[in-house]
Amino acid sequence: MKIGFHTDAFNSVYWNFEQCLQWAQRNGVHYIECGAIDGVSWIHGLGYQPHVALWEDPVLLRRKMERYEVEFSQLDAAFPLSLPEGATLGVEYVLHTIRWAKLAGCPRVDTTDDRHKPAGMSDREVMAHLKRIYEQILRVAEAYQITVNIEPHGYYTTKPEFMEEMLSFCDSPYLRLNMDTGNTYIAGQDPVAYLERFLNRVNHVHIKDVSPELARALRGELTGIAVSHCAIGDGVNAENIRRCLRLLRDAGYDGVLSMECEGQGGPLIERSLAWLRAQLQELGVGT
């Protein structure tokens, strides 16, 4: 298994993407995940956001990343596709990201739904809406050989019965699961049971802990959190993460474990990295 991180870790300190590459190089991390910005953002343009914009040249950026010995594990195109706008804005956003990912050397793109059930729509209507969206997206993903992952992060995706249906929308090896240990936990699910159910569909993994305070206040009320606000291993989800790592090892998973942790400019994510490396060493897993 390989260790990576999501650049969300450095949102709060307003780093740019290259500063994240520098952090990765200093800490011997070779995989990075970030958000895709489809357009121009003033905060990104001024150098205060650790994500990439799709107007940036993907080939030149890939060459820069090679100099840091870092490559993309995934691009985050997590527009809430269950919303009515998912069929227009969401589809175009994901398709633009897929094309950019191909040139950037990124093998997968992350997608999800909204945290709320769309007003005025039944579950069957939403599932039909999402099926049409994923069928459209997968036609392009297959042509570009880019895997489209679905992440448990919203009203439907954190419920295993709906995720099961969504992963069956298209009979394609390019439709897979991005497991998230933190989102499943904060949504009130058992992350270990969730992973067991979909173990053969896992293509990328978010390693995310949950602080005791957040769990007490909002478990079962939220469907996802951007990052853990404690170091991974210091929260109430640590034992679930250990058990998930054992499951992944035993299943032969050799993909990326992408840390999602508030970085505080480095200290929290560096503690998280040390903890995760120790767990993998204990499990006899190389990175």
pLDDT in tens, 80-97: 999 999 999 999 999 999
Check residue 36 and give its pLDDT: 98
Question: What ranges do the domains of the chain cover?
Answer: 2-282
What pLDDT shows up at residue 212? 95
Closest CA to 8 of 220, 282, 259: 259
Position 2 pLDDT exceeds 90:
yes
Q: Which CA distances in Å does 240 have to 117, 170, 173, 213, 224?
A: 28, 30, 28, 17, 16
Write down the mean pLDDT value for the chain: 97
Q: pLDDT digit string (tens) for 155-189?
A: 999 999 999 999 999 999 999 999 999 999 999 99
Q: What percent of the chain has pLDDT over 70?
A: 100
What integer is the mean pLDDT of 187-197? 98
Rounded distance between C-alpha atoms, residue 258 and residue 178, angstroms:
10
End-to-end CA distance of the chain: 5
| Entry pTM | 0.97
Spatial contact of 27 and 259, defined as CB atoms under 8 Å apart: no
* Nearest CA among 220, 221, 222, 234 for reference residue 262: 234
CATH of 2-282, one of 3.40.50.300, 1.10.150.120, 3.20.20.150, 2.60.120.10: 3.20.20.150
Quote the pLDDT of residue 91.
98
Question: Which residue, 127, 276, 141, is CA-closest to 203?
Answer: 141
